[in-house]
Amino acid sequence: MDGSKTALASAGEPMISQKHIEYIVNAHQNHARKPGKAFRKHDGKTPYWIHPIWCATTILTETSLDEKTKNEGALALLYHDILEDTTQPLPQDLNERIKYLVEYMTFESSEEEMQQIWQKPREVRLYKLYDKVSNLLDGNWMQEEKMQRYKDYIRRLSSDVESNYGKLNIVKLAKIGVRNEM
């Protein structure tokens, strides 16, 4: 087995490979739209690329999701901020289904996202929950009003995800996160 394969698609093709990791690290580190976008807001030191890797690897730990949803989600989550936060395009050889998912996860603003997400396919809402929970975990930079709006959005997303997919680990994390002071 090739050592660069960390997640496999149903057909056996690599979903997350070293090539994918290197692409997103380079994009977020060297091609951020704004200099501050290369780092997480909570401390200004943590490389931004930690976020998409957390999202992608966390979905792979779900025990109740089918393999197709997990594997597509892992790649979509790995690339989900490329179009919003970097000047890099999606890789040309990226699967068309993954490009579609990433494009559906891309918004001009958080306000636009919170309004339009409900018209997106259910798997996009599922993947967005991983994104939002990750942001909540290091969201201590948010002012109180923004944090409350964010938690309300996560509550709605987690309720939607739970009704479509059941009680996933990400739903449990979301519920803990919106209950606690983070």
Q: For the segment 111-168, what is each residue's pLDDT rounded down to a tens digit?
A: 999 999 999 999 999 999 999 999 888 877 778 888 889 899 999 999 999 999 999 9
Q: Is 2 exposed, middle or buried (0-12, 13-18, 19+ CB in 10 A)?
A: exposed
- For 62, 87, 112, 114, the CA distances from 109, given in Å and listed in that order, are 28, 16, 5, 9
Token pair of 170, please?
């990400």
- The 10s digit of each residue's pLDDT in 85-110 is 999 999 999 999 999 999 999 999 99
User: What does the domain layout of the chain look like in residue ranges?
Assistant: 7-179
pTM metric for this prediction: 0.88
- The 10s digit of each residue's pLDDT in 2-27 is 333 344 444 444 478 999 999 999 99
Q: 7-179 adopts what CATH topology?
A: Hypothetical protein af1432 (1.10.3210)
